[in-house]
Amino acid sequence: MGKRRGRIALLLALFLALALSACGGEEEPRTIRVGVALYLQDDTFISTIAQHLQQMVMEEEQARGVKINLSIADGRGNQSVQNEQVDRFLDRDCDVICVNIVDRTAAAVLIDKAQAAGVPIIFFNREPVEEDLNRWERAYYVGSRADRAGRLQGELVLDAWRFSQEELDRSGDGVLQYVMLEGEPGHQDTLMRTEYSVRALVSAGVPVEKLANNSADWQRGQAKMRMQQWLDELEGPIEVVFANNDDMALGAIDACLEDGIPPEEMPFIVGVDATPPALAAMAEGTLKGTVQNDARGQAERILELCFDLASGAEPSPEKITDGHYVWLWYTAVTSENLAEFLP
Ligand code: GAL
């Protein structure tokens, strides 16, 4: 009798479990698959965006009760490698693909592949040419206005010129002598930051003289070498170093330190990005200013767009400019507001 009761109880429990799962009592959370292709994982600013994405995915999984399958691939600076990575994401049925494209003129191929598979594609940080983005209405770009970073950087130097010209103008000739450390050739940020930083000074009537310029490909080590060479070869003092990003500004500082130049005698060095090591250099006084490139904000917008697109919804028009663009703002970081940016 006891055994029979036991069997009945077991059957009842099984029946209940089946009934519960059939009416969704233990429903599996929905899974969203997102593939992220980076141009180069080693790049300081890009790796910061990737870290924010990973962190936010964990937070969003909790908050939204969904499962997010985030795969990150490193293109190692090679467009063919990145194309294969995107193919793999499409084969694995990703719901959305995010691309930090290696060669910004090569987006058409990726957009066409994504369109053929019906998978929305979000570019970020490295802006594809407009005609390519216009090929498909489900191709987007998340990034910051490159000209604004240049303008803000120029204004940091302009303020210093206005408030302490005698400190900045070491040669005392009334002309601001500068060098330009440029990012990767052809990158929208290199072109615009280079142009608009100097333009901010010229349009305010400051006489400027370019002593030298060269690309250091966003990299600290290369920038250090360029700066070492300029310190050795250029006659007369370098008064300002414009660096298209913080890593290169830090490279210029490395060269000055190695040359035995104390912080108070270094040129006025400015960067862009507001990476943690750059903020630390500002706190030490070697870096004079930077412009925040909002890595967290970009990661947030990318994810927000992924959720909209993965659910099949059209992103609301107020979030998107000209049908394809999500723009973020840059902010100048000075010694006055530095505390707001420090981790
Ligand atoms: C820029 C950033 C650089 C570098 C580059 C890569 O926006 O300022 O540091 O990360 O993107 O595309």
Q: Model confidence over 175-199: pLDDT tens digits?
A: 999 999 999 999 999 999 999 999 9
Q: How confident is the model at residue 77 (pLDDT cuts 50, 70, 90)?
A: very high
- CATH of the domain spanning 31-144+294-329, picked from 3.40.50.800, 3.40.50.1460, 3.40.50.2300, 3.40.50.11540: 3.40.50.2300
Is the C-beta atom of 330 inside 6 A of ligand 1? Answer: no
What's residue 9's pLDDT?
Answer: 56
pTM, two decimal places: 0.90
Whole-number Å distance, alpha carbon 122 to ligand 1 midpoint, is 17
% the chain with pLDDT above 90: 87
What's residue 30's pLDDT?
Answer: 86
What's residue 1's pLDDT?
Answer: 45
Tell me where in the chain the CATH 3.40.50.2300 domain(s) lie.
31-144+294-329, 147-292
Q: How confident is the model at residue 316 (pLDDT cuts 50, 70, 90)?
A: confident
**Residue 298 in this model has a pLDDT that exceeds 90:** yes
What's residue 224's pLDDT?
Answer: 98
Is the C-beta atom of 45 inside 6 A of ligand 1? Answer: yes
**Residue 313 in this model has a pLDDT that exceeds 90:** no
Q: Which of 64-68, 69-73, 256-260, 295-299 has the lowest mean pLDDT?
A: 64-68
Cβ atoms of 37 and 79 within 8 Å: the answer is: no
Q: How confident is the model at residue 24 (pLDDT cuts 50, 70, 90)?
A: very low
Is the C-beta atom of 189 inside 6 A of ligand 1? Answer: yes
**Residue 314 in this model has a pLDDT that exceeds 90:** no
Mean pLDDT of 17-37: 66
Ligand 1 atom, smallest distance to 275 CA: 9
Q: What is the distance between the terminal CA atoms of the chain, rounded to a whole angstrom?
A: 69
Mean pLDDT of 320-330: 96
What's residue 16's pLDDT?
Answer: 47
Is the C-beta atom of 286 inside 6 A of ligand 1? Answer: no
Is the C-beta atom of 153 inside 6 A of ligand 1? Answer: no
Fold for 147-292, please state it. Rossmann fold (3.40.50)
Among 41, 42, 43, residue to substitute to test ligand 1 (most atoms within 8 Å of Cβ): 43
Mean pLDDT of 99-126: 97
Is the C-beta atom of 43 inside 6 A of ligand 1? Answer: yes
**Residue 110 in this model has a pLDDT that exceeds 90:** yes
**Residue 230 in this model has a pLDDT that exceeds 90:** yes
Tokens of 68: 């997010």
